[in-house]
Structures are given as structure tokens and as C-alpha cells.
């Protein structure tokens, strides 16, 4: 009994300690304060962020991963960006461009290697051809491009991003930023400054005290200003020294220059430095990745509990689920603070939030019903949604600035959050129904009370989802009335939300009128997954309407596969009794016994 009491705390404590250890990474690399450099704030995409975020997102876009193995050593994003900025000859040799499309490989005459990764140097002879093909494909609308056209445009965009990063601080092939500062007024310097302004991917130099918060400058702009006004931007010589020290591999000089640059930023923009620091901690902790791992552990432990020592393993699984929820909550809160926005601002964050809502709901259900199903379903939902979120994060910054029409924290906090909780609820009801269908096939024994518990959980969650999706839809209508002048415009995203409301209403009425029983409700709840996934992702694939904020081509197949599996599960759920596993007959006996 005692072991059962402490099991959840031990399991949760171990998981949280593990998460803490994973968050810790050394700052020093071969004596260089790489961590200190990556914490410096810069302005990219209209937003202040640490160089660490720029490095991770860029590498994620170019390579699809946040680190890579080169010459039998793992190169992290922070080390990679230093090479890109200051030692391009090293970065050019690293295999960072992933190319999967066989036609693109054929076009540039590269052999399909084992790992499909190529260095910039390997691509260099073919750049002109890649650009020519990409420019030919560019005028075609994204959704009408062929596979080859999409792949070549995508490759060109990645090459361009790499090219811009390399030329952000100093132009490739020149003698570095220090020389550029010296010769800012000499003939020919103006052209180079113009090129730097044009190519800068981010703006590393903080604005002087008193200037507007978004007036960060690229090196090109700062050089130009110093050439015309004479006053040298105080950050320029420091950045030049950082570059010089790194390119000549002088650790002590590098570390000193980085700390000088940090001190300068602290005196000009202390809040930017603090925010960049926080974001770097967030990046390194990877709360959503760690949460995913903890949810898998919770799932494994709950599976094990059905075979062995349930009195200890079930509470331990609950502890793990709670630990996963804690990590995910911390991650969400961090994002809210960093962005200064409510939790859901784009497709990526909606996936994170849907999972979070489902996990929290299952924790509540487990506290009410205490039967372990909710742990399994919650852990599976949390894992699945974080996996989806992970696949949605490859397009770059997940905390991008909000377009003007969406720039309203009030509506983002009410309408979007309510709708997303409605998604959570509908998916959770579907997940419980799937658990019901699978359990009937695979569980060693079926007791009628458990089945009743599953049905009543599903019904309660459907009612909950109806409330939130209705309120969310209505709040969306009010927002639309405020900003576009119509309450309801039959826009695809609005229609998607309406479909969820209608479907949940149909489930409730069908059960209330007694037209469906246990199996029917469960199958309908699984169909709710189909409706919700179409409303959430499907409408973005149509590419019409005011809400089409994230077009995705690859996701189409994933969505089709998901819907296919849901139909299969519905079929499984609706199988008549004689197709269940043989021991089902015992349940019939049990039910009859209960009736008697």
C-alpha cells in the first residue's frame, strides 16, 4: 500500500530530474564561449531572438535537424552558425543540405548517397541551374507545382537562406568585418555595404538608447551610417573582433569580445538580453521533445501495469503523465511569456495546445474514474499531438510575428483558445472510443463496469467539446463581425468549426433520443476525429479563405492516412458481437448476471 502511495511521486520526480539534466548543455567548446555568443539577441523576421534560435531554425529548415554529425563529431546549431558567419570555408564543406527528390538529384548530377546530405561545396557547380529551374517554377502557385517543382523551389530557398546567413555579418570573399570598418569610406565600400544590407538575414547591432525598439541594424546599415555620419556604431568593432577571433581560432580573444558585446547590449537593451537568455534556456530544454519522451514512458508503464503489479505501476504511470504535463505546461508558459501572446498563434502552437488540453482533461478524468484508461489515452494523445507539432515546426520560427488582422490578444486568448480546447475534447473523446474498440479486441477480460466507465467518459467529454467548440465558434463570429463586418461568412475555417459543433450535437441528440447505444456512440466519437482533423488541417489545404494561414502539401498524405485509420477503427468498433474475441461471451454473462 505504501509503495502505491509513493510510486507516482518517485516516477514524476525521476522524470523531472531527467528533463532538468537534458536541459543542461556546456557553454564551452574547445575553450570558445559558444553558449555566450548564441545568447546574444538579434532581430530576425521582425522579432528579437537569440542567435541560438536563428541557428536552430535555420539548420532545421536546411537540414531538417537541429544538429548533425560531421567527421565523427556532433556539431550543434550554435557551433554551426559560428562557422557559417565567420569560417564559411569550414561550413561549406559540411553536409547540411538534405535532398530527397530523385529528379532534383538527377538534375544536379549528384549520386544518391546513403544519407542524402550534401555540402554547399558539392552544390556550388550547380547553383546556376538550380536557380534557373527554381525561377521557372516560382510563378506557379504553390499547390499547383509538381513534386519536382516544389522540391527545386524548396532547395533554392534553402540555398538562399544559407547564402544570406553567410553574408550577414561580412561578405564572403572579403577580408572580414574589421577591414570593412577601416575602409568604410573608401571607393567601392558603398557597393559592399549595399550588398550587406540586401543580404542580411538578421540584424545583430542594438539600437542606441532612445531609438525605437525595432531599430536594430544590420552590419551593412551600421557601416553605411558610420561612413556618412562619421560616428562609429559601438557594436561594429566588437562584432568585428568576435569574427576575427573565431576565424583565427583565438579562444581568449573570442571570449573577451563576446563578453564585451554582451556588456554593450546590456547597457543599451537590457530587456532584449534578458529575453534572449530566457529563450535560449527554452530552446535547450526542448520541453515539448522531453514531454513527448515522458508521455511514451507513461504509456509503456501503463501497458506494463495491465500485465504486472497494477497497484504500483498504475500510480507510477499517473505520476509520469503528471510530470509530462508539468514539462509541457512550463514550455507553454515560456512561449506565452516570450511571445507576449496567448498560447495559440499558429498551426504549430495549436498542435501543442491541443495535446496539452487532452492531457489535462485526462488527468481530471483519471482523478474522477481512477481506472487507468484515461492515463493511457492521455499519454497517447499527448505524444501524438507533440509528434504532429514536431513535424509542423520545420518551416522556421514557430514564434513568428502575427499578421495585422490577427494582432489582437483578446480574441486570440478567447476565440482561438476555446476552439482549440474544443479540438482537444473531440480528439480525446475519439481517443477514448478507440481505446474502447481496441480493448474489446485485445483485453484479456472485459468487465461491464469498465465499459460503462468508458462510455460515460466519452459522453461527458463530447458534451464538454460541444460547449467549447460552440463558444469558440461564436466568439470567432463576433471577432469576424468586429474586423470584417460579417458575423458569419461561410469561410472554410468557420465551416470546419461549425462541422465539429454539428457533429457533437448529433452525437448528443442521437444518444439522448436512444437511437444509438454503446457501440454507436463510440463509432460516432471516432468519426469526430475525422471531422476535427479535416477542420484543423484539411481546410488549410484548400488554400482559400481568410484563415488559410498555413498551406501544407506534404501533410495531405498524412491526413489521408489518418482518416483511413479512423474509418478502419470505426469498422472495428461496429463489428457485431460474434466477431469479438471469444471471451466476450463472458461479458454477456456478466451483463445478464448484473441484470439479474
Partner 1 sequence: MAKPTKYPLLNALGSMQLTILLLALLMVLVFLCTLAQVDLGTFGAVAVYMRSFVVWWHVPGTAYSIPILPGGALVGLVLALNLVAQYVRIPFTVANLGLWLVHLGLILFVVGEFVSGAFQVDSQMAIEEGQTVNYIEGRDPELAVADVTDPVQDEIYGIGQGGLSREGVVELPGSPVSIKVHRFFRNADLTNRQPGDPASPVTRGVGTAVTVRPLPPVSRDDDMNRSAAFVEPLAGGRSYGVWLVSNVLGAPQSFIHEGRTYVLSMRSRRQYLPYSITLKKFSHDVYAGTDIPKNFSSLVRLHNPSRGEDREVLIFMNQPLRYDGKAFYQASFGKNDTLSILQVVENPGWRLPYVSCAMVTLGLLYHFGTRLRRSLKRREAAQAAAPAQSAAQEA
Q: Would you tell me which residues interact with partner 1 (CB under 8 A)?
A: 43-47, 200, 202-203, 214-216, 368, 400-401, 403-405, 407-408, 411, 456, 460, 463-464, 466-467, 470-471, 474, 477-479, 481-492, 495-496, 498-499, 502-503, 505-506, 509-510, 512-513, 515, 539, 542-545
The answer to whether 238 and 257 have CB atoms below 8 angstroms apart is: yes
Maximum Cα–Cα distance across the chain: 101
The CB-of-436 to partner 1 minimum distance in angstroms stands at 19
Q: How far is the CB of 70 from partner 1 (least distance, A)?
A: 31
Apex 231 CA angle, 229 and 233, nearest 5: 115
Work out how close the CB of 158 gets to partner 1 at its nearest, in angstroms, rounded to a whole number: 19
For the chain, what's the residue count?
Answer: 596
Report the C-alpha gap between 59 and 81 in whole angstroms. 9
Q: Kindly state the smallest distance separating residue 403's Cβ from partner 1, in Å.
A: 6
User: With contact defined as beta carbons under 8 Å apart, do 184 and 162 qualify?
Assistant: no
Q: Judge whether 177 and 169 are in contact, CB under 8 Å.
A: yes
Question: Could you count the other beta carbons within 10 Å of the beta carbon of residue 379?
Answer: 29
**Nearer to partner 1 among residue 168 and residue 385 (C-beta):** 168
CB of 275 to partner 1, least distance (A): 16
The nearer residue to partner 1, 370 or 391, going by C-beta atoms, is: 370
Residue whose C-alpha is closest to residue 384's, from 321, 461, 295 = 295
> For residues 541 and 425, what is the distance between their CA atoms, to the nearest angstrom?
23
**CA of 522: how far to CAs of 69, 506, 517, in Å?**
47, 13, 9
Q: How far apart are CA 230 and CA 181, in angstroms?
A: 11
> Which cell goes with 444?
484479456
Neighbouring CB atoms inside 10 A of 191's CB total: 10
Q: Shortest Cβ distance from residue 477 to partner 1 (Å)?
A: 6
Q: Long-range contacts made by residues 128-136, C-beta under 8 angstroms, separation at least 24?
A: 130/155, 130/156, 130/159, 131/156, 133/107
Residue 340 or 513: which CB sits closer to partner 1?
513
Choice between 122 and 408, CB closer to partner 1: 408
Contacts of 530 (CB under 8 A, 6+ apart): 563, 566, 567
Query: Phi/psi of residue 382, each to 5°?
Result: -60, -45
| Nearer to partner 1 among residue 241 and residue 547 (C-beta) | 547
* Residue 80 or 202 with smaller CB distance to partner 1: 202
Q: Minimum distance between the CB of residue 479 and partner 1, rounded to whole angstroms?
A: 7
Per DSSP, the residues of 281-296 read HHHHH-HHHHHHHHHH
CB of 506 to partner 1, least distance (A): 5
What whole-number distance in Å separates Cα of residue 428 and Cα of residue 154?
36
Q: How far apart are CA 52 and CA 34, in angstroms?
A: 10
**Gap between the Cα atoms of 448 and 400, Å rounded:** 50
- 3-state helix vs strand vs coil in the chain, percent to 5: 70, 5, 25
> Is the CB of 108 or the CB of 363 nearer to partner 1?
363
- Nearest distance, CB of residue 170 and partner 1, angstroms: 18
**What's the min distance (Å) between Cβ of 489 and partner 1?**
7
What is the Cα–Cα distance from 13 to 299, expressed in whole angstroms?
17
Nearer Cβ to partner 1, position 45 or 64? 45
Indicate the residue among 110 and 463 with the shorter CB distance to partner 1: 463
The Cα 379–Cα 293 span in angstroms is: 10
Smallest separation, CB 492 to partner 1 (Å): 5
Complex with partner 1: residue 92 or 491, whichever CB lies closer? 491
> Which residue, 145 or 256, is less far from partner 1 as judged by CB?
145
Phi, psi (degrees; rounded to nearest 5) at 165: -60, -45
Main-chain phi, psi angles of 400, to 5 degrees: -65, 165
Exposure on the CB side of residue 427, measured as CA atoms within 13 A: 33
CB of 483 to partner 1, least distance (A): 4
Cβ–Cβ < 8 Å for 574, 440: no
Q: How far is the CB of 81 from partner 1 (least distance, A)?
A: 18
How far from each other are the two terminal CA atoms of the chain, in whole angstroms? 34
Contacts of 535 (CB under 8 A, 6+ apart): 423, 493, 495, 496, 497, 499, 500
Geometric angle at alpha carbon 465, from 460 and 466, rounded to 5°: 100
Picking from 360, 354, 473, 357, the residue whose alpha carbon sits closest to that of residue 411 is 473
Q: Which is nearer to partner 1, 394 or 545 (CB)?
A: 545
| Nearest alpha carbon to residue 393 among 429, 442, 346, 427 | 346
Which C-beta is closer to partner 1: that of 95 or that of 206?
206
Q: Which is nearer to partner 1, 403 or 595 (CB)?
A: 403
CB of 175 vs partner 1, minimal distance in Å: 27
Q: Report in angstroms how near the CB of residue 447 gets to partner 1 at its nearest.
A: 14
Report the residue number, 202 or 288, with the smaller CB distance to partner 1: 202
Amino acid at each position: 500500500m505504501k509503495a502505491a502511495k509513493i510510486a507516482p511521486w518517485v516516477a514524476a520526480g525521476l522524470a523531472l530530474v531527467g528533463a532538468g539534466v537534458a536541459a543542461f548543455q556546456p557553454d564551452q567548446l574547445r575553450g570558445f564561449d559558444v553558449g555566450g555568443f548564441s545568447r546574444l539577441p538579434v532581430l530576425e523576421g521582425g522579432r528579437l531572438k537569440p542567435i541560438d534560435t536563428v541557428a536552430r531554425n535555420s539548420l532545421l529548415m536546411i537540414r531538417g535537424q537541429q544538429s548533425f554529425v560531421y567527421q565523427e563529431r556532433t556539431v550543434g546549431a550554435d557551433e554551426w552558425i559560428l562557422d557559417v558567419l565567420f569560417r564559411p570555408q569550414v561550413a561549406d564543406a559540411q553536409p547540411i543540405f538534405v535532398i530527397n527528390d530523385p529528379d532534383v538529384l538527377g538534375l544536379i548530377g549528384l549520386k544518391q548517397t546513403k544519407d542524402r546530405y550534401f555540402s554547399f561545396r558539392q552544390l556550388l557547380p550547380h547553383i546556376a541551374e538550380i536557380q534557373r529551374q527554381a525561377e521557372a517554377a516560382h510563378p506557379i502557385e504553390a499547390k499547383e507545382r509538381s513534386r519536382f517543382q516544389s522540391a527545386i523551389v524548396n532547395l533554392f530557398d534553402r540555398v538562399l537562406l544559407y547564402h544570406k546567413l553567410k553574408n550577414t555579418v561580412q561578405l564572403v570573399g572579403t577580408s572580414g568585418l574589421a577591414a570593412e570598418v577601416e575602409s568604410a569610406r573608401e571607393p567601392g565600400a558603398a557597393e559592399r555595404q549595399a550588398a550587406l544590407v540586401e543580404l542580411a538575414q538578421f540584424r545583430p547591432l542594438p539600437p542606441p538608447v532612445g531609438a525605437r525598439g525595432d531599430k536594430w541594424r544590420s552590419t551593412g546599415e551600421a557601416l553605411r551610417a558610420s561612413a556618412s555620419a562619421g560616428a562609429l556604431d559601438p557594436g561594429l568593432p566588437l562584432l568585428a573582433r568576435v569574427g576575427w577571433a573565431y576565424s583565427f581560432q583565438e579562444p581568449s580573444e573570442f571570449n573577451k569580445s563576446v563578453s564585451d558585446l554582451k556588456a554593450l547590449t546590456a547597457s543599451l537593451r537590457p530587456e532584449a538580453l534578458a529575453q534572449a537568455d530566457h529563450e535560449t534556456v527554452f530552446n535547450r530544454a526542448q520541453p515539448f521533445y522531453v514531454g513527448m519522451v515522458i508521455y511514451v514512458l507513461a504509456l509503456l508503464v501503463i501497458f506494463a501495469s495491465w500485465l504486472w503489479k497494477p497497484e504500483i505501476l498504475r500510480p507510477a504511470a499517473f505520476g509520469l503523465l503528471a510530470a509530462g504535463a508539468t514539462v509541457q505546461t512550463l514550455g507553454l508558459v515560456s512561449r506565452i511569456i516570450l511571445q507576449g501572446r496567448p498560447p495559440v498563434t499558429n498551426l504549430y502552437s495549436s498542435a501543442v495546445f491541443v495535446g496539452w488540453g487532452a492531457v489535462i482533461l485526462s488527468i481530471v478524468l483519471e482523478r474522477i474514474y481512477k481506472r487507468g484508461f484515461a492515463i493511457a489515452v492521455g499519454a497517447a494523445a499527448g505524444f501524438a499531438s507533440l509528434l504532429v507539432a514536431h513535424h509542423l515546426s520545420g518551416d522556421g520560427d514557430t514564434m513568428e510575428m502575427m499578421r495585422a488582422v490577427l494582432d489582437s490578444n483578446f480574441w486570440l486568448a478567447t476565440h482561438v483558445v476555446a476552439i482549440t480546447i474544443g479540438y482537444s475534447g473531440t480528439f480525446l473523446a475519439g481517443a477514448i472510443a478507440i481505446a474502447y474498440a481496441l480493448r474489446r479486441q485485445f483485453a484479456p477480460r472485459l468487465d461491464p463496469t469498465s465499459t460503462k466507465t468508458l462510455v460515460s467518459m466519452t459522453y461527458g467529454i463530447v458534451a464538454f467539446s460541444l460547449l467549447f467548440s460552440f463558444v469558440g465558434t461564436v466568439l470567432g463570429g463576433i471577432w469576424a463581425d468586429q474586423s470584417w463586418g460579417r458575423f458569419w461568412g461561410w469561410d472554410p475555417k468557420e465551416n470546419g468549426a461549425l462541422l465539429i459543433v454539428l457533429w457533437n450535437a448529433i452525437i448528443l441528440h442521437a444518444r439522448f433520443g436512444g437511437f444509438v447505444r454503446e457501440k454507436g456512440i463510440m463509432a460516432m466519437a471516432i468519426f469526430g476525429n475525422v471531422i476535427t482533423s479535416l477542420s484543423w488541417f484539411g481546410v488549410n489545404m484548400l488554400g482559400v479563405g481568410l484563415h488559410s494561414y498555413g498551406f501544407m502539401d506534404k501533410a495531405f498524405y498524412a491526413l489521408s492516412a489518418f482518416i483511413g485509420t479512423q474509418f478502419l477503427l470505426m469498422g472495428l468498433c461496429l463489428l457485431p458481437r460474434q466477431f469479438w474475441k471469444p471471451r466476450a461471451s463472458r461479458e454477456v454473462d456478466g451483463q445478464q448476471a448484473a441484470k439479474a
